[in-house]
């Protein structure tokens, strides 16, 4: 069951990729006449069409990826354009620091898209569902400190923690699910996640498999209706096709590769938004695989063999920066760690120290076997494919028998040796560290385990003293550098191509994993 669910989560993450929205390229503010006949229902004066990768399901409790979650659902809290916590379904909250208790006071005029009232019972149901180990949510680690949830009345709920967690308000951005529709349902397989009902500014109109997910404005939204009527997630799984459909007018907004973004640099119709993200790329090693159980000590040498700047220049065209750890875009980044700067000679020294020798063909060997492995990359992500290919070439150049692979049927997680991974969060430092690198945590897909990393991450989340947190995160980053879980490559910029009719996008917000976050102020967007 565990492997099945993990495979589903990874497939969902890789298929969903980027989800956002898009506006008509032509002056009548409608979808281009070049679009397929099936798209005529989208041709309204107030519609955005976005080029999206495909979705398996819309299940924010189990999966964290995808911008569509924030359009359909709300959390108790939210993040503003500076990624600071603000109220959403909770209009206010109190914190008893001595009792480790948060009490949330909820909005009282909120309704689900089906007209049923939103109450504190929905909040309790959602968080308990995520915490239930039977559901195997990748978000469970965010709430493992929750000891007791008390519904005080319909619009007041209290969370008592067993220990401090300074990121708790960040985690209450979790989209809340309707208890009346999901109680007793299978939280991995329920049909609800193909026909979701939320409280958010947009509601599902219909979902055409592999074609489009069409959202329409929630005119009864408690915070006031959005200005744009419809948002269409048009499924375009091929990155190159997104650029072509932008040019033809079938799409109005999409995230594209840096190479494709070049084609719109001098456009009179489109604006290219080069947006900073906390989103890093690198090689994730599958430590459950026998190969890495025998050869994990070679990873530091592999790290020295990667020319990260060459990857940034060749794949991202300079729209990014080299990566040496998971917190570079966070206030708790610690710069005095081992960067693993490109040094083939040092890589060779480390392979020799590990007992490796070169064979007649110039490949490093240990115990009679060549040192080599296969780097998988998702077929829907051209940037990851390019990175895998360049990394394989660089490692071949230093004598490692490494190949890049793009599985046509998707990545076999349980059987693979490694893959190109992406993670990153612009929020509290606990996010995307504790659950990604902590032993047996829900988003630790590598199977990495280091008791010191566990200790430092736990201590960091349990203190609100900035200087103490800084020290713990420094220790965490040092330890992670000594015993790497990943070979970090780079942080990427999110390149969005946007039709000039769309107004209101905030280009200064630091976006998260997959470039998610552009929609934080979508209710204020307009089409002119």
3-state secondary structure 277-341: ECCEEEEEECCCCHHHHHHHHHHHHHHHCCCHHHHHHHHCCCCEEECCCCCCCCCCCCCCCCCCC
Question: Is residue 239 predicted with pLDDT exceeding 70?
Answer: yes
Q: Which of 186, 201, 215 is nearest to 88 (CA)?
A: 201
CA 401/CA 396 separation, integer angstroms: 6
Q: List the one residue out of 273, 274, 206, 209 whose CA is nearest residue 237.
A: 209
Check whether 187 has a pLDDT greater than 60: yes
Q: What percent of the chain has pLDDT over 90?
A: 85
Quick one: pLDDT at residue 42? 56
State residue 425's pLDDT score.
93
Give mean pLDDT, residues 310-321.
97
Query: What pLDDT band is residue 413 in, cutting at 50, 70 and 90?
Result: confident
Task: Judge whether residue 375 has pLDDT over 60.
Answer: yes
Over residues 461-503, the pLDDT tens digits come to 999 999 999 999 999 999 999 999 999 999 999 999 999 999 9
pLDDT at 45: 77
pLDDT of residue 65: 65
Q: Tell me, what's the pLDDT at 16?
A: 41
Strands 526-527 and 357-358: unpaired
pLDDT at 1: 39
Angle at which helix 382-397 crosses helix 239-248, to 10 degrees, equals: 140
Q: Does the pLDDT of residue 257 top 90, yes or no?
A: yes
Residue-wise pLDDT tens digits, 103-152:
999 999 999 999 999 999 999 999 999 999 999 998 999 999 999 999 99
Percent of the chain residues topping a pLDDT of 70: 91
pLDDT at residue 370 in the model: 96
d(CA 322, CA 329): 12
Structure tokens at 467: 């200087």
Residue-level pLDDT at 203: 98
Query: Residue 408: its pLDDT value, please?
Result: 84
What confidence score (pLDDT) does residue 41 get?
56
Give the mean pLDDT of the chain. Answer: 91
SS3 at position 440: coil
| Cβ(331)–Cβ(474) below 8 Å | no
pLDDT digit string (tens) for 22-78?
223 333 333 333 334 334 455 567 999 999 988 999 999 988 767 899 999 999 999
For each of the domains in the chain, give its residue range(s) and CATH number, in order of start: 1-65+200-275+494-528 (3.40.190.10), 74-196 (3.90.76.10), 280-492 (3.10.105.10)
pLDDT value at position 409? 80
The pLDDT value recorded for residue 514 is 87
Q: What is the pLDDT of residue 316?
A: 97
Q: Does position 17 have pLDDT exceeding 90, yes or no?
A: no
The structure's pTM equals 0.88
| Angle value at C-alpha 107, between 105 and 108, nearest 5 degrees | 110
Cβ–Cβ under 8 Å, residues 309 and 343: no
Distances (CA, A) of 463 to 331, 376, 433, 472: 15, 39, 16, 10
């Amino acid at each position: 069951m565990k492997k099945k669910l993990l495979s589903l989560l990874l497939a969902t993450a890789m298929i969903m990729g980027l989800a956002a929205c898009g506006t008509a390229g032509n002056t009548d503010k409608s979808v281009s006449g070049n679009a397929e006949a099936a798209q005529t229902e989208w041709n309204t004066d107030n519609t955005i069409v976005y080029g999206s990768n495909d979705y398996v399901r819309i299940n924010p409790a189990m999966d964290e990826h995808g911008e569509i979650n924030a359009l359909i659902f709300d959390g108790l809290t939210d993040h503003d354009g500076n990624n600071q916590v603000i109220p959403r379904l909770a209009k206010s909250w109190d914190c008893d620091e001595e009792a480790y208790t948060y009490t949330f006071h909820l909005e009282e005029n909120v309704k689900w898209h089906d007209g049923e009232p939103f109450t504190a019972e929905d909040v309790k149901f959602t968080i308990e569902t995520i915490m239930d180990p039977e559901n195997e949510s990748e978000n469970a680690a965010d709430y493992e400190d929750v000891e007791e949830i008390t519904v005080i009345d319909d619009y007041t709920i209290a969370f008592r923690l067993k220990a401090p967690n300074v990121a708790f308000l960040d985690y209450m951005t979790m989209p809340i699910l309707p208890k009346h529709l999901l109680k007793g349902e299978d939280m991995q397989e329920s049909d609800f996640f193909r026909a979701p009902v939320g409280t958010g500014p947009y509601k599902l109109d219909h979902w055409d498999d592999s074609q489009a997910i069409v959202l329409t404005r929630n005119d009864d939204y408690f915070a006031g209706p959005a200005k744009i009527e419809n948002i269409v997630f048009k499924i375009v799984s091929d990155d190159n096709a997104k650029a072509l459909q932008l040019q033809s007018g079938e799409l109005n907004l999409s995230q594209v590769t840096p190479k494709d973004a070049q084609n719109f640099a001098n456009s009179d119709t489109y604006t290219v938004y080069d947006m900073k993200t906390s989103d890093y790329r690198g090689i994730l090693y599958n430590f459950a695989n026998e190969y890495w159980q025998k050869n994990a000590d070679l990873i530091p040498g592999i790290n020295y063999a990667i020319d990260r700047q060459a990857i940034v220049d060749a794949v991202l065209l300079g729209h990014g920066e080299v990566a040496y750890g998971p917190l570079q875009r966070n206030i708790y980044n610690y710069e005095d760690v081992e960067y693993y700067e490109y040094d083939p000679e040092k890589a060779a020294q480390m392979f020799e120290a590990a007992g490796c020798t070169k064979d007649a063909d110039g490949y490093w060997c240990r115990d009679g076997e060549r040192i080599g492995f296969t780097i998988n990359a998702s077929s829907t992500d051209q940037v990851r494919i390019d990175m895998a290919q360049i990394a394989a070439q660089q490692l071949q150049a230093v004598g490692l028998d490494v190949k890049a692979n793009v599985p046509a049927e998707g990545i076999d997680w349980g059987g693979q040796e490694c893959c190109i991974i992406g993670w990153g969060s612009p929020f509290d430092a606990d996010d995307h560290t504790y659950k990604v690198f902590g032993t047996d945590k829900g988003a630790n897909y590598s199977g990495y385990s280091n008791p010191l990393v566990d200790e430092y991450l736990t201590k960091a989340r349990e203190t609100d003293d900035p200087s103490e947190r800084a020290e713990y995160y420094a220790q965490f980053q040092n330890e992670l550098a000594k015993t790497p879980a990943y070979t970090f490559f780079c942080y990427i910029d999110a390149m969005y191509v946007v039709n000039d009719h769309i107004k209101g996008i905030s280009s200064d917000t630091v976006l998260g994993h997959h470039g998610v976050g552009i929609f934080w102020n979508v209710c204020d967007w307009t089409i002119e």
